[in-house]
Structure 1
Amino acid sequence: MAPDCAQKTNTSCEECLKNVSCLWCNTNKACLDYPVRTILPPASLCELSSARWGICSVNFKALIIAMSVLGGSLVLGIAVACCCCCCRRKKSRKPDKSDERAAREQEERRIRQEERRAEMKSRHDEIRRKYGLFKEKNPYEKF
């Protein structure tokens, strides 16, 4: 079993941090048990700028800032890569079979509509002729 962290108080940071469950406080040269229940050591135990864990040369404040910048850069990089990938996919997208089928069906509907219009016009013209409402061009009309 590893020795208690409190026994390494007033030694050195390297000696204290050989045990991963220990935290070194630079202000009072104390080796403390790392507070596992809280993610960061509270200020009453040791200030973040003087707390060391894992490596003696890096304090918690610098570690938090570095990890935040690294995590933010990673998230931003992934977001930019996804956007570029999506944009590239949309630009190179060729019309697929469903797009071609939809265009063909739309053209067929337009042709049928024109045929129906012509048929309706001819029926209406017949009815106008039958009842004398259709004005045919009179060859004797005044100029």
Structure 2
Amino acid sequence: MGTCLRASLLLLLLLALENAAWGQPTTSAPAKQGSCDQYTNKTCQECLKNVTCLWCTSNKKCIDYPVRNILPPSSLCALSSARWGVCGVNFEALIITMSVVGGGIIIALCVCCCCCCRKKKSKKPDKDEEKAAREKEQRRVKQEERRAEMKSRHDEIRKKYGLFKEENPYAKFENN
């Protein structure tokens, strides 16, 4: 949860920088500690021009952001009322949004990793497939040996009974 909160603060900072890019200044001249009190009972935009300030919409107070805490304590301002960097986004909605987005990214990364691992495994021949191929080759070799042995036996039997068909028995006496 701590990582999510840090990420949400980072998002707030990015939103503040985005507002600066659109011509909405988020900072003014460097303010002194405690200078946020002067914007109390004014508008959120005026308070948040100074990034060290936190606007609480429930009591319209502009207070110094408690930098020692990641989130402002509820005694200072409720999360649903706290605004920092941008007036339109409260901490509560930001935490929920960042949790959902972060969870979605983590799930997407896990799915991608699983898919990549499966593809790599499928490219390499499986051990079972290799074993089956070796056994098939061994059976083929044994079959060839048996076939040759049977042929030689049959040839011997044919010779014994005179059934062996030689080319021409008189051909060896002819002179070419």
TM over 0.5: yes
| TM-fit CA distance, 1:95 | 6.5
Q: Pick from 87, 92, 102 the counterpart of residue 123 of structure 2.
A: 92
Alpha-carbon shift at residue 94 of structure 1 (Å): 3.4
Structure-1 separation of matches of 2:47 and 2:85: 10
Aligned-residue sequence identity (percent) comes to 58
Look up the equivalent residue of 1:2 and give its one-letter code.
A
| Aligned equivalent of 1:41 | 72
1:13 corresponds to 2:41? no
TM-score using structure 1 length: 0.64
- Paired with 2:39 and 2:66, the residues of 1 have a C-alpha distance of 17
Structure 2 stretches lacking a partner, 5+ long: 1-29, 139-176
The aligned runs of 1:1-143 (5 Å cut-off) are: 1-2=30-31, 4-94=35-125
Letter in 2 for 1:69: V
Aligned residues: CA RMSD = 2.2
Letter in 1 for 2:77: C
Aligned length: 102
Distance 2:72 2:36 in 1: 15
Report the alpha carbon displacement of residue 92 of structure 1 after superposing the two structures with TM: 1.8
Which amino acid is the alignment partner of residue 124 of structure 2?
Answer: R
Higher relative CO (CA 8 A, sep ≥ 6), structure 1 or 2?
A: 2
| Counterpart code for 1:51 | A
Work out the CA distance in 1 between the residues paired with 2:72 and 2:31.
21
1 CA distance for matches of 2:47 and 2:56? 10
Structure with the largest fraction of helix: 2
Task: Tell me which stretches of 4 or more aligned residues in structure 1 moved more than 3 Å.
Answer: none
TM-score using structure 2 length? 0.53
